[in-house]
Each structure stands twice: as C-alpha cells, then as structure tokens.
Amino acid sequence: MDTCAKIILVDDEVMVTKTLVTLLKLEGFKNVSAFNNPIEALEYLRIYPSDIIISDFIMPKMDGIEFLSKAKKLSAQEDTTQILLTGYADKENAIKAINDVGIFKYIEKPWNNNDLILNIKNAIERTKLKKALKEKIVQLKSANSELEEYSKNLELLVQKRSKELYESREKLNAIFKNCADGIITFKKDYLVTSTNQAACDLFGTDDKELLNKNFFELIINEKNQKFENPFKIKKPLFLRDFSVVNYKNNAKIPIEISLAKIDNDKDTFVVAVIRDVSYQKENERLRDDFIATLTHDLRTPLLAAISGLEFILNGTLGEISEKQRELIFAMKKSNEDMLGLTNALLEVYRYEAGKIFLCKTRFCINKLIKDCVKELEILFKQNNSDIEFDFESEELQINADKNEIRRVILNLLGNAIKHGGENTKVTIKSEKIGKDAQISVKDNGMGLSEEDQKKLFKRFSQGTSKKRSCSTGLGLYLSRRIVEAHNGSIWVKSELDKGSEFTFNLKNTALEEKVLL
C-alpha cells in the first residue's frame, strides 16, 4: 500500500473532514489535506498535484460535480482519481456524474469505513497505473520518434553504402577487365571460373576456351618444381619458371604467377595473376651473355699477366731487387684476386643459365676436407687460427661432384678465417644422417646479426653491414647454388660476438663405407 499518496478531502462540514482525516491517518496515510471550501481547494489544486480527490456532493457555492469537473481540467490534476461522497437521495445524480464527468466511484453516506478505505486504496492504485501508463506512452512516442529517425537515417545510409558498393564494384570490374596482367580465378577443383582480356590475349584465345579448364593444365612447369596447394596457404604463393603457349601464334611465353586464396561467406576461390616476363627474360639473357663474354675474355690476359709476373719472381728473366720482388708479388696477388672474381662470375652465370653439369664420383669427404685445410694452411698460420676436426667416421663416402663440393668447403673455411680474426678456433664437422651427408664449419668470431643473416646467401651480399668488405659477395651465393644443384640445402646459425656455424646438407649422397678385404 502506498501510504505516501497525496489525498485531498473536500466537504463543507468540518466534522466530516476531521473524521476522514483521523480515519486515514489511523490507516497509515501520511499525506492528507482537508478543505471545507471547494474554491480554496481549487486554488490549492492549481499548484499541487494529488493522487486522489474525495469531494462531497452537496456544498454551498459549488456542488461536488462542478468542483470535480473544474479540478479535472487543471493541468496538475490530469492523472488524479476522483471519488464523490453523496447521500442516498442524490444517487441518480452521482451516477450521471460518473458518466459525464468520469468520476471513478461514488460512495453513499453514511459509509462503511472498511469499504471506504478499500475504495481509496483502489483509487490510489488506479492513479499509479494511469501515471505509469502515461509514462510508457511518452516513452513509446519517444521510441517511435527515434525509430522513425533511425529508419530515415538507415535508409539514407543504405542508399549511400549501396552507391559506394556499386562504385567499388565498377572500379574492381574496370581493374579486372583492363589490368595489363592476366587474371584468372578458379575454385577447389582448379576449374577456371573467370578470366580477363589480358589472360585471353596471353593464351591467344577467348574466355570460352579457358572457362572450366584445369588451370594447372593450362600452364607449363618448366622445371617440374613442387609447390604448396594454393587452397592450403595463408600467404600469397609466387611461382617462377613457368610458361604458357599462345595458341594464336604457337609461341611459348615465359610467365610469373601470383596465387592468392580468397575466402568469402559463400565460397573459397583462388585468384591467379599472370605476368608476361618475356622482356625481363630477354634482358636477363643479354646481361648474362654480356657478363659471360666479358669474364671469359678477361681470363686470358689475366692468366698471361700472372704467368709473366711468376717468371719475373722466380728469376727466369734475371735477378730483381727485394723491393721489386715485393711490388711484383703484390701485382701478382691482385691479378690472382681478379682472376678469382672472374671465375666466380663465370660459375654464377653457368648455374643461373642452367649450363652446369655435375660430374658425380665416389670419394671420401673427410679427405677432401683435410686437403682444403692444407690448401688454406698459410691463412691459418697468418691468423694464428686453430683447426679442429669432428668426424663421425674417418671414411665417410659420398657421391657428389668433388670439385664443386671442394669449392663450397674452401669458401666456408676461408670465411671462417677471414671473419673470425686472429686466434680463431675453427671446427669442421662431418656426419652421416640417414642417407644424407652433413658438413658444418664453426668459428668463434664476431658473428652475424639476424638482419645480415637474411641476405647472406644472396648475390653480392658481403656478409655483414658492420664494416666494408673487399669480397665479391658471390662466394656464399655460389655455394648455395652448388648445394641446391645437389638437391641439398645450406644455412647458418649465428649470434653477435659468439661466432657462426655454416652447415650444408647433401641429400641422398652418403654411401656405405668401403670394406677392406
């Protein structure tokens, strides 16, 4: 029960209002106001809202129906519930007032206190419900207004987004159709679903001839290279050394392909961007031919100069002074370095042009390692370096190109001495891992940063960015090409100021040791 509800009592008899006030306070109602003059009550009601108004019917100056009608029109009393007290003789007028004015209830005098209190409680509850309903209506109107505004804005937003999507789609279509590179899409069955004009021009046909064809049957894998399934990768896949046949002029065109997987709500497909690299290949061929011709033509005069200087040094052409000997020796060394660079460039060209042919024989890798160490013995002594062998077996036999593997070992040992500095300890290890032969060269020199390690086996990389190097930057690159020609791999583990360990693995080259009878 709401005991704080505001109750207004109006009756011209003071005794009646006092009795009602006492009764209501005994029932626990705390906010009760009584008036014996309806005009005063109206003045009060203009300012202060109430929850329930109880008025007598017969009053001087203004009867109860007129009073309640005027009270009902007051803005502060819009939600107030009204009760009319009337005698038995005025029952018919009271009923008419309920219909005309909208009075909640009439109570006959003399009333029953229990019935009166029950009606007052119901009236208070009715007022609360009316106020709550009014608040809900206001909230509903506000929500409807917001919804209408949101709907209006949503419609504008949808129109704007639709326009943007249309423009984006048109741009993508324009890019797809007019891209200089060929673009082909295919699904998990590898069947072509769409092509652009550049792709059709590349194959020398129209899109009808390409649609529903297996994409990987349209391209030629020149080196039979293996690659990952484009539907199982997260990053784009880049393929080189592929080609396509132009059916219009029956010409083979070298290409590079970029494959990217696209996932959407409905399906998964792959976009293949195909680039014609004929121009780049021709430029590479011209460059390589130029380098090959230049280096080849340089070898003859260099060899002649070295031989001539050697004649002078060994006294064949007469005695020379010590100063002359030192100068000529330096000239001979410079020419030998130049010849080494020329030979390295020639070897790189041979590997990149695919003109290298491995001559594989059976030999003991550990004996080859010791021969390489002996060949570099002077460098070890100059640097006061110490060499240690860690051979799993003294007679590890492998099947490989001996001269090419010798070149790799000499390069790794030379780098270990050169970059290790004085008093370097170099450990060279060989072992058999299954059918593979694995060789590593470890030093305790200055080491390499992670950034330097990433570009270490690329052409013209000089090992470290810390200082300038007089090397060609081709040694490790050529070593990688030699190892890869043997279907092997080469890598490095290094930490700054803790040294480096270069390792190469030769796949399926290890043989059973010779049995001595």
- Tokens 């370096």 correspond to 385
Q: Is residue 464's pLDDT more than 60?
A: no
**Residue 220, beta-bridge partner list:** 243
**Residue 361, beta-bridge partner list:** 400
Q: What is the 3-state secondary structure (H, E, C) of 46-76?
A: HHCCCCEEEEECCCCCCCHHHHHHHHHHCHH
**pLDDT tens digit sequence for 282-329:** 887 777 777 667 666 776 687 778 878 887 888 777 788 888 888 888
Q: Give the integer Cα–Cα distance in Å for 418 and 410.
A: 12
Q: What contacts 180, CB < 8 A, 6 or more positions away?
A: 198
Q: Give the integer Cα–Cα distance in Å for 495 and 445.
A: 10
In 384-498, which ranges are E strands?
386-391, 397-401, 425-433, 436-443, 489-495
Q: Is residue 514's pLDDT more than 60?
A: no
Alpha carbon dihedral 81, 86, 92, 93, in 10-degree steps, equals: -70
Q: What SS3 state is found at 206?
A: coil
**Mean pLDDT across the chain, nearest whole number?**
83
Q: Is residue 94's pLDDT more than 70?
A: no
- Do residues 116 and 9 lie in contact, with contact meaning Cβ atoms separated by under 8 Å? no
**pLDDT tens digit sequence for 69-86:** 888 888 777 788 888 888
**pLDDT tens digit sequence for 371-407:** 999 888 887 887 888 889 999 888 899 999 998 899 8
**pLDDT tens digit sequence for 227-245:** 888 888 888 888 888 999 8
Q: Report CA Rg, the chain.
A: 51
- Do residues 375 and 410 lie in contact, with contact meaning Cβ atoms separated by under 8 Å? yes
- Do residues 58 and 30 lie in contact, with contact meaning Cβ atoms separated by under 8 Å? no
